[in-house]
Structure 1
C-alpha cells in the first residue's frame, strides 16, 4: 500500500514512469456539492509500481503528475475514461494523450455491451474487487487502509486487463479500431461546458423566438454563475424554474418572486438582480438576433421489415466478429440506413467491414438472410435474367 502526500514523493514516483510504455490511471472525486469535480485521489500504476496520490494533502503540488499525464510518449490507460479525463482536462487545459479505454476495447473484443471494470478484473485478471469502499466520502481525511487498498485495486488490476485486451486486439488485428474510437475522448470539446449552448438541452413550453432568447440568456446566466461560485446548476436554479421564468418573462423582482419554489431571498438578492438583467438583455434583442429552435429531426420513412432484417443482420455479424453490436451501429443508424441514408459512421472504417457493406447489400437485394438450422446466414442472390 503506497500513499503519496508530498510533492517530493510524487516527483520521485513519476520520474521513472516517464520512460514507461504505459500507465494505468483512475481517480476518486466528489461533485455532489460543487459544479466542478473535486479531485480527491489519483491512482497511477506503471508496469511494476503503483501509488495513490492524495490530491488534498496539505501543500502538495500535482505538477509532476500533470507532466506525466501530458507526456506524449506514455500511453494512459483508463476504464470508462470520460469523467477521469474531464478532471485532467480542467486541470491541464489539454487532454492527456495518447489514450486507451479498456471499456471500449472490451466491446471491440466481444466482452459485452458495456463491460464493468469488476467483470473484466474478474475475468481477465482473476481478481476479486472489494466494493465496500465504492461510495465512500473521498474528501474526508485521514483515508483508511481499506479505502487506499480499494483505490489502488482500480489500477493494479487494470494493468493486467489492459495487457490481456491489447493481446486480443493484436491477435485479431483490431488495434487500429481503438484509435478510431478514441476520437471523441481525444476531443477537448467533449469536456467543455459552453454556457451559451446550455439552453439547448432544455425543453421549453413554446417555440417563439423571444421565449427562446430569454431561455438562452437565463440558462447562460445560470451556467456561468454555477461555474463561478462552484455549485451544481440545479442547486442554483432548477430546470423547471428556469423554464417557468422563460415562459412568463417577469418584468419586476416581485414577478420573479412568484416563481414556484424560488423564494424571496433569491428574487430580492444578487441572484434575482443578475437574472433580471439577463432577461432584459433577451427582451432588448432585435428580431434578427433571436435564436430559433433546432430543426426537428427528419421524419424517416424506414420500412419496418427492413429495420427488422438489419437488426437480425447486426446481431449475426456482431456475434461472428466477436464485437458488441451497440458499438457497431445504434438503433437510429439502422433506421437511417433502412430509410436510404448512406453518409453514416456505420458505413465507414472498420464498421463497414464488419457490418455496413453487408447491410447495404441486404437492403439493395444482392444478398438475403436464410436460416440454417437455428442459425442465420447470408446467401448471395442470383440476379434475375
Structure 2
C-alpha cells in the first residue's frame, strides 16, 4: 500500500465541488486510496453550533474543495467516505473538524490520524502549528492572509480557494513523513493510543449538567454550587436552542454573580452585570430565574460536591518543581513534547498524592515518564547533573 504523495511539480489542480454527482464521483475515487487529507472552514463566532462552509479533500490524484453551502448539495457521499474503515482520515488539530462531522453525520470519521498529535509524539514541540510542519516537513511556506476570512460569504475568491487547498495538499507530505518516522521508531502505537480520545464521541458531547465545572468556582459552598450548576445547565440548553455562543447569551462572570445573589424577580435579575431589563423580562430571563429557583430548592443530598482539585492539601511546590525537571529530562531523552507527557495539572496532582488517576501514569506515558515520576516521589529515584544533562540516579 503506497503512502507516497505526488511530487510538488505534479500537484493536481484544485476543483470546486458544488453538485452531488461530482461529490459522489470524487468520494468514490478517494475511497480507493490508503489515506485522504481533510480540513474544514467554518464559522462559529455568531452561533453555538459550528456552521460548515467548506470541506477540503486531497488524495494522490485529487484536490477538491466541497462547497457545503451550495444549494441542493447532498453531503451523504462525504459521510460514506468518512466512515470507510479502509481509508485513513488525516487531519491537523482534528478536534473541531471531527466535532463538525460528528454533528453532521452522527459518527466520528474513522480511522483518524492527527498530525499535530503525531508531531508531538515525534518531538516537534507542544501543539506545533500546521505552518511549522509545512516548513519542517513539506519545505513550503503557508500564506496566512486568508486565515480569518468570512468563509460563509459567497462567492469565494480565487485567493481563498488557493489558501483552502493548501491546507490539504501539503498535509499529505507531512503525514507520510510523520508516519514513516513513527513506524521506524516504533511509536505508531503511541499515536494510535492518543487517537482513541479523538475517536470517542463522548469527547465532543456538551453535557449541560457538567457545564458549571468549566467555570472553576473557588468555593466549597454546596448551595452556591447547586445554583451555579442549575443556571449553567440552563445557559447551555438555551444557547443551543437559540444557536448563539454561550458567552453572548450570559457571560461567565454574570453567571457567578447570579449564583451568589440568587435573584427572585425580573427586577432583581436586571441588576446583575450584563443583564438588560428586556432580557430579564423576556423568555430567557424567565427561564434563568426558574433555574435559580431550581438550584435553591435542591435537597442537601442532591447538591454537587466541590471540584476535586479544590479538595485536600496543596501540592508541595518543591516536589512539583522536581517533577517538572524530571519531565523536561524525559522529554529531552525521548524527543517527545513535554505537554503530551504531562500537563501542569498532572504534575500538581502527582505531587498532591492522587497520581494513579493521572493520564501520565498510564499507557505509553507510564513507560516514558510516569514510572520514573512515581519512583521520584517515593524516594526510589534522585536527580543529579552529568555535564549539561540531568541525570537519574536510583536511590537506596
> Match for residue 282 of structure 2?
269
Distance between the aligned counterparts of 1:179 and 1:378, measured in 2? 29
> Match for residue 92 of structure 1?
105
Match of residue 347, structure 1, among 361, 370, 389 = 361
Distance between the aligned counterparts of 1:366 and 1:258, measured in 2? 58
Match of residue 171, structure 2, among 155, 158, 161 = 158
Secondary structure of the corresponding residue to residue 240 of structure 1: helix
> Match for residue 32 of structure 1?
45
Distance between the aligned counterparts of 1:292 and 1:356, measured in 2? 29
> Match for residue 54 of structure 1?
67
Residue 184 of structure 1 deviates from its aligned partner by 1.7
CA, structure 1 residues 203+349, in 2 after alignment: closer, same or farther (shift >3 Å)?
closer
Q: Does structure 2 retain, via aligned residues, the 8 Å contact 1:23–1:74?
A: yes
Distance between the aligned counterparts of 2:255 and 2:43, measured in 1? 26
> Match for residue 375 of structure 1?
389
Secondary structure of the corresponding residue to residue 51 of structure 1: strand
User: After superposition, where does 1:109-258 map in structure 2 within 5 Å?
Assistant: 109-203=122-216, 207-258=220-271
TM-score (norm 2): 0.89
CA, structure 1 residues 20+298, in 2 after alignment: closer, same or farther (shift >3 Å)?
farther
Q: Does structure 2 retain, via aligned residues, the 8 Å contact 1:300–1:336?
A: no
Residue 209 of structure 1 deviates from its aligned partner by 3.7
Determine whether 1:16 maps to 2:24.
no
Q: Does structure 1 retain, via aligned residues, the 8 Å contact 2:226–2:295?
A: yes
My pick for the range that moved more, 61-70 or 163-172, is 61-70
Q: Does structure 1 retain, via aligned residues, the 8 Å contact 2:313–2:352?
A: no
Distance between the aligned counterparts of 1:265 and 1:183, measured in 2? 46
Determine whether 1:356 maps to 2:383.
no
Determine whether 1:67 maps to 2:80.
yes
Match of residue 90, structure 2, among 63, 77, 96 = 77
Per-residue Cα deviation, 1:1-55 (whole angstroms, up to 9, x for no partner):
2110111111110012122211111000001000000000010112331101001
Residue 271 of structure 1 deviates from its aligned partner by 1.8
Q: CA-atom RMSD, angstroms? A: 2.2
Secondary structure of the corresponding residue to residue 292 of structure 2: helix
Distance between the aligned counterparts of 1:354 and 1:241, measured in 2? 44
Q: Does structure 2 retain, via aligned residues, the 8 Å contact 1:25–1:45?
A: yes
Q: Does structure 2 retain, via aligned residues, the 8 Å contact 1:106–1:112?
A: yes
CA, structure 1 residues 312+243, in 2 after alignment: closer, same or farther (shift >3 Å)?
closer
Distance between the aligned counterparts of 1:314 and 1:279, measured in 2? 44
Unaligned runs of 5+ residues in structure 2 are 1-13
My pick for the range that moved more, 78-87 or 215-224, is 215-224
Distance between the aligned counterparts of 2:381 and 2:304, measured in 1? 47
CA, structure 1 residues 58+302, in 2 after alignment: closer, same or farther (shift >3 Å)?
same
